[in-house]
Amino acid sequence: MTDPVSRTILLLDIERFSDRDDVEQAYLRRMLYDITDRTLESAGIDETLRLRADRGDSVMELIDANAPVTALLRSLLTEVPTQLRALNRMASRSAQIRLRGVVATGYVGVDRHDGWVGSDLNHACRLLDADVLRAALRERADDFALCVSDALHAGVVRHDHPGIPAADFRPVTVESKNGPLKAWLHKPAQPAQPEQPARPEQPVSGSAAAEDHGDTGAGEAPGGSGDRPAPEVPPHGGAREDRPASGGSRGAPAPGPVVNIHGGTFSGGVIGGSQHGGISGGNFSGNVTFNDGGSRDRGDRA
């Protein structure tokens, strides 16, 4: 076995891989490799700076300690969700790919069978299979959940480097057969929903703001500009004293004022317009003319 050397450990695993058939698994493995390669290239980590191990539904990368971890984390937080979104929007439901990821640091040796040996690597694998990380992926909308080891958080993440907001990582404890493991789950706080301001009362238009006159006709005349009042109309149920009651269609007087005279003396004069009413008592002398629409009746009554 080679002497253990410091490495950055990257693990990526496909969710629900065993639920797919062989054709779908082959496609998902190809997509996993493509995503991993593009993510590492985006971080400036080429093939000379890493070793890869295939684990069927997951991929393991041992990255040279000289490669910048900050660039790797930024690429994981931005590039991986972008690639997954682009792939899944065009894929069928059975070909959707969602990933869990772990980044850790530690010492790893390589044996004569090209196997990797190291307790830090074992801890990283425990984090990848942790229920808390699986649950986090189920709750995420962007198809990727990331966890970092406590050592990596202490050495890099907590310092709040550009593109790696420390406030977006939450401490978690993972139970393992070797005892509890402390880690940090990337779980950005949901943006607070802005409170909806109370809607101001809408100003009421002039016609709506006008007092309800109960169909009496008071207020603005229909079709008017608001500068002139409508003619006064009596309330419902009320009868105007100067309008005759309606008669039949025959001989019905035209609308007009009604004059009721109970006792009185007329010495000549003219009453114009359409008149209807009763006259009882009184003395009339001279010419009394009732002008009704051009018809004229004359007579003397003593």
Task: Show the DSSP H helices in the chain as ranges.
Answer: 22-42, 69-88, 119-128, 131-139, 150-155, 206-209
CA distance 207 to 17: 68
Distinct helix (H) and strand (E) counts, the chain? 6, 13
Q: Where are the domains of the chain?
A: 5-186, 255-302
Buried b (16+ CB within 10 A) or exposed e, 116-146: bebebbebbbbbbebebbeebbeebeebbbb
Give 95's Cβ-side CA count (13 Å radius): 14
Mean of the per-residue pLDDT values of the chain:
78
Residues 6+ apart with CB under 8 A from 187: 136, 168, 169, 170
Nearest to 61 by CA among 75, 80, 45: 45
What does the pLDDT look like over 43-95, one tens digit per residue?
A: 999 999 999 998 889 999 999 999 999 999 999 999 999 999 999 999 998 89
What does the pLDDT look like over 225-238, one tens digit per residue?
A: 444 444 454 555 44
Report residue 295's pLDDT band, with 50, 70 and 90 as the boundaries. Answer: very low
pLDDT at 56: 86
pLDDT at 290: 53
How would you classify the pairing of strands 265-272 and 283-292?
parallel
What does the pLDDT look like over 173-230, one tens digit per residue?
A: 998 888 899 999 999 876 656 666 666 666 555 554 444 444 444 444 444 444 444 4
Listed range (7-21, 124-138, 156-170, 213-227) with the worst mean pLDDT:
213-227
CA distance 127 to 133: 7
pLDDT > 60? residue 23: yes
pLDDT at 235: 53
Buried b (16+ CB within 10 A) or exposed e, 192-221: eeeeeeeeeeeeeeeeeeeeeeeeeebeee
Nearest to 35 by CA among 106, 108, 97, 114: 97
Residue 60 CB-density burial (10 A; 0-12 exposed, 13-18 middle, 19+ buried): buried
pLDDT > 60? residue 296: no
pLDDT at 232: 53
Residues 6+ apart with CB under 8 A from 39: 75, 76, 79, 80, 83
Q: State the average pLDDT over residues 116-144.
A: 94
Tell me the CATH number of domain 5-186, given options 3.30.70.1230, 3.90.1150.10, 3.40.190.10, 3.40.50.300: 3.30.70.1230
pLDDT at 228: 46
Find residue 117's DSSP bridge partners: 109
Nearest to 116 by CA among 63, 67, 69, 68: 63
- Residue 94 token pair: 């059975």
Residues 6+ apart with CB under 8 A from 52: 59, 60, 61, 62
What does the pLDDT look like over 153-168, one tens digit per residue?
A: 999 999 999 999 999 9
CA distance 159 to 55: 33
Residue pointed to by tokens 């004069």 = 269
Higher-confidence residue of 31 and 266: namely 31
For residue 58, count other CB atoms closer than 10 A to its CB: 21
pLDDT at 94: 87
Higher-confidence residue of 60 and 269: namely 60
